[in-house]
A and B are shown apart, each in its own frame.
Chain A
Amino acid sequence: MNNRVAVIGDKDSITAFRAAGLEVFDATTAQEAEKLIKQLTDEHFAVIFITEQLAVGISDTLAKAKVKAYPAIIPIPNADGSNGYGMSGIKKDVEKAIGTDILFKED
Chain B
Amino acid sequence: MAIQNVNPTRMEMKRLKERLKTATRGHKLLKDKTDEMVRQFILLARENKRLRSEVESQLSDALKNFMLAKTVADTRVVEEAVMMPSRRVELQCTKRNLMNIGVPHIEVKQDTAGELYPYSFLSVTSRLDDSVATLDKLIVSLIQLAEVEKTCNMLAEEIEKNKRRVNALENIMIPQMEETIKYIEMKLDENERASTVRLMKVKDIIAKQQQSY
Contacts and interface: CB of A to CB of B under 8 A. Distances in A.
A and B: bona fide binding partners: yes
Interface in B130-167: 131-132, 135-136, 138-139, 142-143, 145-147, 149-150, 152-157, 159-160
A97 B44 CA distance: 12
Contacts of B53: 87
A16 B106 contact: no
A3 B147 contact: no
A93 B85 CA distance: 36
Interface string A1-21: 011110000001101111111
Interface of B: 37-38, 41-42, 45-46, 48-49, 52-53, 55-56, 59-60, 62-64, 66-67, 70, 78-79, 81-83, 85, 87-93, 95, 102-104, 106, 110-111, 117-118, 131-132, 135-136, 138-139, 142-143, 145-147, 149-150, 152-157, 159-160
Contact of B45 (A15, A22, A76, A93): A93
B85 A20 contact: yes
Given A16-B132, A76-B59, 18 more contacts: A3-B90, A16-B66, A16-B131, A17-B135, A19-B135, A20-B132, A21-B85, A21-B87, A47-B106, A47-B146, A74-B142, A77-B59, A90-B48, A90-B149, A96-B156, A98-B38, A98-B41, A103-B49
Interface string A59-83: 0000000110110101011110110
29 contacts: A4-B91, A5-B91, A12-B67, A15-B82, A16-B62, A16-B63, A16-B132, A19-B132, A20-B89, A20-B132, A20-B138, A20-B139, A21-B85, A21-B110, A46-B106, A49-B146, A72-B150, A74-B149, A76-B56, A77-B60, A77-B63, A78-B63, A81-B60, A87-B53, A96-B159, A97-B41, A97-B45, A97-B156, A98-B38
Contacts of A78: 63
Contacts of B103: 69
B78 A47 contact: no
- Taking residues whose C-beta sits less than 8 angstroms from the other chain, chain A's interface range is 35 or more
Contacts of A97: 37-38, 41, 45, 155-156, 159-160
A94 B48 CA distance: 11
A9 to B, nearest CB: 10
Contacts of A13: 63
Contacts of B42: 98, 102
Nearest to B117: A19
Given A72-B150, A103-B49, A3 B92 contact: yes
Q: Is the interface of A mostly helix, strand, loop or mixed?
A: mixed
A46 B152 contact: no
B38 A5 contact: no
